[in-house]
A and B are shown apart, each in its own frame.
Chain A
Amino acid sequence: MTAASVLSVESVTKVFSGAGKPDLVALEDVSFSVGDGEFVAIVGASGSGKSTLLRIIDGLLPATSGAVRVGGEAVTHPGFDRAMVFQQDCLLPWKTVLDNVAYGLVIGGAKIADAHETARRFVQMAGLTGFEHHYPHQLSGGMRQRVNVARALAVNPRILLLDEPFAALDAQTREIMQGELLNIWSESRTTVVLITHQIEEAVFLSDRVVVFSARPGSVREEIPVPLPRPRTMEMKRSEVFVSLVDRVWRLIEHEVRKAVEEGMA
Chain B
Amino acid sequence: MGSISGLLDFLESKGRAAATARLLLSVAFVLVVWEAVASVVESRLLIVPPLEVAQALSEESASGALWTNAVATIGAVAISFPIAALIGISVGLALASSRFLALTAGPLLTALNSVPVIALAPLFIAWLGLGFASKFVIVTIFSMFPILVTTEVGLRATDRHLVEAARSFNASYWQIFRTVTLPFALPFIISGIRVGWARALVAIIVAEFFGAFAGFGFAILAAGQSFDTAVLLAYVILLGILGLSGSLFFEWLERRLAPWRQDQ
Docked complex Cα distance between A82 and B169 (Å): 9
Interface residue? B164 (CB, 8 A): yes
Known: A86-B161, A103-B179. A94 touches B170 (CB 8 A): no
Docked complex Cα distance between A84 and B165 (Å): 8
Query: In angstroms, how far is the closest chain A Cβ from the Cβ of B178?
Result: 10
Check A92 against B164 for contact (C-beta < 8 Å). no
Check A103 against B164 for contact (C-beta < 8 Å). no
B contacts with A: majority SS: helix
Contact-size category for A:
20 to 34
Give the interface centre of A59, A79, A135 by most chain B CB atoms within 10 Å: A135
- Further contacts, 9 of them, CB under 8 A, given A84-B168, A92-B179: A59-B168, A78-B167, A78-B169, A89-B161, A92-B162, A103-B169, A108-B170, A135-B260, A137-B263
Closest 6 CB pairs of A and B: A90-B165, A104-B169, A78-B170, A84-B168, A107-B169, A94-B260
Interface residue? B166 (CB, 8 A): yes
Check B168 against A58 for contact (C-beta < 8 Å). yes
Provide the residues of chain A in CB contact with B170, threshold 8 Å. Answer: 59, 77-80, 107-108
Residue in A83, A88, A93, A136 whose beta carbon sits within 8 Å of that of B168 in the complex: A83
Provide the residues of chain A in CB contact with B260, threshold 8 Å. Answer: 93-94, 135-137
Query: In angstroms, how far is the closest chain A Cβ from the Cβ of B37?
Result: 46
Query: In angstroms, how far is the closest chain A Cβ from the Cβ of B161?
Result: 5
Interface residue? A7 (CB, 8 A): no
Docked complex Cα distance between A138 and B179 (Å): 20
Docked complex Cα distance between A89 and B264 (Å): 15
Interface residue? A219 (CB, 8 A): no
Docked complex Cα distance between A92 and B263 (Å): 16
Provide the residues of chain A in CB contact with B168, threshold 8 Å. Answer: 58-60, 78, 82-84, 86
Give the interface centre of B162, B168, B175, B264 by most chain A CB atoms within 10 Å: B168
Check A107 against B161 for contact (C-beta < 8 Å). no
Provide the residues of chain A in CB contact with B263, threshold 8 Å. Answer: 137-138
Docked complex Cα distance between A37 and B179 (Å): 32
Provide the residues of chain A in CB contact with B164, threshold 8 Å. Answer: 60, 86, 90
Docked complex Cα distance between A137 and B259 (Å): 11
Interface residue? B171 (CB, 8 A): yes
Check B258 against A107 for contact (C-beta < 8 Å). no
Contact-size category for B:
10 to 19
| Residues 141-181 of B at the A interface (beta carbon under 8 Å) | 161-162, 164-171, 175, 179-180
Known: A84-B165, A86-B165. A107 touches B183 (CB 8 A): no
Query: In angstroms, how far is the closest chain B Cβ from the Cβ of A82?
Result: 8
Query: In angstroms, how far is the closest chain B Cβ from the Cβ of A114?
Result: 16
Query: In angstroms, how far is the closest chain B Cβ from the Cβ of A162?
Result: 12
Total contacts A to B, CB within 8 angstroms? Answer: 58
Q: List 13 A-B contacts (CB under 8 A).
A: A59-B168, A60-B167, A77-B170, A78-B169, A80-B169, A89-B161, A90-B164, A90-B165, A92-B162, A93-B260, A103-B179, A137-B260, A155-B169
Residue ID in chain B nearest A105 by CB atoms: B169
Provide the residues of chain B in CB contact with A58, threshold 8 Å. Answer: 168
Docked complex Cα distance between A136 and B162 (Å): 13
Residue ID in chain B nearest A100 by CB atoms: B165
Query: In angstroms, how far is the closest chain B Cβ from the Cβ of A26?
Result: 17
Docked complex Cα distance between A58 and B167 (Å): 10
Residue ID in chain B nearest A87 by CB atoms: B161
Check A137 against B166 for contact (C-beta < 8 Å). no
Residue ID in chain B nearest A135 by CB atoms: B260
Check B183 against A94 for contact (C-beta < 8 Å). yes
Docked complex Cα distance between A60 and B160 (Å): 13
Give the interface centre of B167, B183, B259, B263 by most chain A CB atoms within 10 Å: B167
Query: In angstroms, how far is the closest chain B Cβ from the Cβ of A175?
Result: 25
Docked complex Cα distance between A62 and B258 (Å): 36
Provide the residues of chain B in CB contact with A59, threshold 8 Å. Answer: 168, 170
Check B258 against A90 for contact (C-beta < 8 Å). no
Known: A78-B167, A78-B170, A155-B169. A90 touches B162 (CB 8 A): yes
Provide the residues of chain B in CB contact with A88, threshold 8 Å. Answer: 161
Provide the residues of chain B in CB contact with A136, threshold 8 Å. Answer: 260
Query: In angstroms, how far is the closest chain B Cβ from the Cβ of A89?
Result: 7
Docked complex Cα distance between A207 and B115 (Å): 66
Query: In angstroms, how far is the closest chain B Cβ from the Cβ of A213?
Result: 26
Query: In angstroms, how far is the closest chain B Cβ from the Cβ of A167?
Result: 13
Query: In angstroms, how far is the closest chain A Cβ from the Cβ of B165?
Result: 4
Query: In angstroms, how far is the closest chain A Cβ from the Cβ of B211?
Result: 45
| Residues 63-77 of A at the B interface (beta carbon under 8 Å) | 77
Provide the residues of chain A in CB contact with B167, threshold 8 Å. Answer: 60, 78
